[in-house]
Structure 1
């Protein structure tokens, strides 16, 4: 029988450890042993929680902030990239969840102001 319950684990991101609790999928057999099993969707959710903790810890702009800023301003990815002075492909990577470099993060924050 499979079931879902919260599971606490530790992720290491760029040498920093983040303990997170998120839903995970388990299998239980008749011997009363519970075994965690891989579930791509739940595993991705847990990893994103850890990545967001890292972004918060390091003061990095995240995908949701970029999307909200672009929606508020009406800028395309190319227009934002031009304002920041980086390539459109880099904005695409950040929108997909990649971590900005310190310099690009500083530039993004400067362009985005107090957003």
Structure 2
């Protein structure tokens, strides 16, 4: 499917009777609202270019469906340095791609 878009998701779920579609295993945040439904991927909790943990909250009530992203700052220096300490293979690539080269 490639990079999700509102249009591609609408095509995929055209016959579905869902008002909310949550998906993941993609580190980028996606939040699309169409006339038919809400599509939400809160992204990755730990793979981010900033020292923040991101997560999503979905609220479903009589007013409809809403989704939002929360970002909580945290100190990730020990974790990032552990790639070097543990001699993780391809650590420079992993740090650059998944953590924005924060070190």
- Give your verdict on TM over 0.5: no
Q: What band does the TM-score fall into relative to the shorter chain? A: under 0.3
Q: Which has the higher helix share?
A: 1
- The TM-score normalised by the length of structure 1 is 0.22
Q: Which has the higher strand share?
A: 2
Which has more radius of gyration? 1
- The TM-score normalised by the length of structure 2 is 0.24
